Each structure stands twice: as C-alpha cells, then as structure tokens.
Amino acid sequence: MKALVTGAAGGLGLYLVRALLAHGWHVTGVDDLSRGRDDEDLRAVRRDVRATFAAGDLTDPSTWNQFPGGFDAVYHLAAVNGTRNFYEHPARVLRVNLLTLMHGLEWAARVGCGRFIWTSSSEVYAGLEDIDRLVLPTSEDVPLIVSDVGNPRWSYASSKIAGEALCAAYAREFGVPVVVVRPHNIYGRRMGWDHVIPELIERAQGGERPLVLRGGDQTRSFCFAEDAAEFLVRLAEAPLDLRTVNLGNGREEIAIVDLAHRILRALNVADEVRSEPAPVGSVARRRPDTRRLEAVTGYAPRVTLDEGLPSTIAWYLAHPRPASSVG
C-alpha cells in the first residue's frame, strides 16, 4: 500500500508517517519546512527505505503534479496552524490552507487515489458556542458557523469550513474519494511549541509562579498523537460515504487548571496557579463525539492523558523551544 503524506515533517504528520510504516505501507512525505523541522526524528524516519521525502510548497500546483497517481491514500495535513498565526497572519492562513487543498483536490481529481483524507479542525465548532448552540460531546452533524469574518481569530476556522465545502464539492462533482477529519487537541512529543501543553511546560519550567492561566476553567479533550496516527491509518479503509469524522479522544475532558496542576506536580515544582478570564473568542469546552470514529476504525484510544503526559513532558524538557521556531 502506498501513501502520500503532506505536512509530513509536522507534529501530527511525522507520527502518521511512522504509523503507516509500522503497518507496512510505503510512504512519500512532502513538506515545505515552514513549521515542520528537518530534525533527528525526521532523519531517523527517512532512513527507512520505504519512506521518501520531498521538499516543496503545496500552494504551487507543480509540487502536486510531480507525484504520479497510484496512492492508496493521500493524507493532506499541510496547513498553517498555530493560534499566533491566526491573529498575526490571517491572510497567509487562508491562502495556504485553501490553495494547498484546492490544488490537491484538482490533482486528485486528475490522477485518482484510493482515499483523499484531509484534516479540518475542531475549530469549525467554535462558532456554535457564540450562539449557545454547542452541544457536548459534539457530533459531526452540527451546522458550522463563522461568527465574524472580520476578526482575524476566525481566519483558521474559516479556512477549514471553506475547505470542507471544497471537499464536498470535489467529491460530488469529480468523484474525489474525500474523507474530512476534524482533529481535536492532539498532543505528544515533538508537536511544536505553540500548543497549550508545551506552553505550560515551558512556563512552569521557566519559573513562572503562580502559573497564570487565561481561562483555567476551560476544558479540552486531549488525544495522544500515537492514538491519533493509528486512527488515521485505519481511516484509509473508511467507507466512502463516511465523508466527515471527528478525530480525538472523547473519553476524557480536563480543565486547563487541572492540566496545569498535573504538569507542575510532574515537574516536582511549586504547585501554584492563578486563573484569569479567558481571551475573548476562546472556546470554553471542547469534547468530540467519537462514536463514528471508533465504529469505523474499530479502534479506541489506548493512551490516557496520565499515561501520555510523562513522555511528553520529558521530551519538551530535553528540547526547549529553538530560537528559530515559528508559530
């Protein structure tokens, strides 16, 4: 079986490449290294003869066109992610996320593939909270809402909602075998430095006391990256009428304040936190309904947050944020 993985040097991408190789796949990875890193982890994977990597910008259609058809699964993960980018570079977020997808769908319509699996985001549900319509756990079938297209915060969610519309249209008009996946708070080693868990580790280790949490009462459901990658591998055989599926661990939901306590205790440092009001627009609770995901893949998360945190913390302590890290 052959897979193309875009964003292969990124946080989730490299976990996926490893999982596909472990399942016996041949993998071609592509990334422009704008956020993903050509580090020792990536080099270790590249030593596998079944893995090849190409550097390239997927907003350019010629990058897609260098790949022939014949992939059993195309995983299109490349995107501009990271909250800081949503505010500081909203045009880049929309441009990259939509152009890479549009060219990918055009290419897939032309050359064909077994499945075209594209990562949307849990952020597509955020607008429902603004109109008091967010139901938890959140199922795939709720309407998707953009609260304010003029607010840069919505650049990312807008790109994902418009991307879902593109996927539906290319499936209908050109028969592209699309599966839209909505990841929810994937965490683990080497997942970038601008997610909530690495940021808390960094600030706790840096000595910030009390650890100030903007929105400590907010909750998230964290899914260990190895579980997320296993789900993605299994989605290559998802039925074509699946269309959309949440990706995450719907079995756990934790308040950020409790997460901070766990991290401080694991670091064996003073356990002092102070919660302040959440930033405007930040989602109060997030928990996916994962019944569809678990039914279609025949898999359930194996790693609880308590089990996944220690190796994550250890990795981030050994790998402080590099000076060149982009959000």
Where does this chain bind ligand NAD (CB under 6 A)? 7, 9-13, 31-36, 57-59, 77-81, 96, 100, 119, 121-122, 183, 185-186, 192
The least CB distance from residue 270 to ligand NAD, in Å, is 29
Q: Which is nearer to ligand NAD, 9 or 293 (CB)?
A: 9
Q: Which is nearer to ligand NAD, 122 or 272 (CB)?
A: 122
The least CB distance from residue 195 to ligand NAD, in Å, is 7
Q: Which is nearer to ligand NAD, 15 or 25 (CB)?
A: 15
The least CB distance from residue 179 to ligand NAD, in Å, is 13
The least CB distance from residue 209 to ligand NAD, in Å, is 28
The least CB distance from residue 19 to ligand NAD, in Å, is 13
How far CA 167 is from CA of 68, 207, 208, 218, 241, in Å, comes to 21, 45, 44, 31, 13
Tokens of 322: 């590099």
195 neighbors 223 (Cβ within 8 angstroms):
no
Q: Which is nearer to ligand NAD, 8 or 263 (CB)?
A: 8
Closest CA to 247 of 224, 274, 275, 228: 228
Closest CA to 9 of 48, 56, 49: 56
Identify the bridge partners of residue 213 per DSSP, sorted by sequence position: 275
Q: Which is nearer to ligand NAD, 80 or 235 (CB)?
A: 80
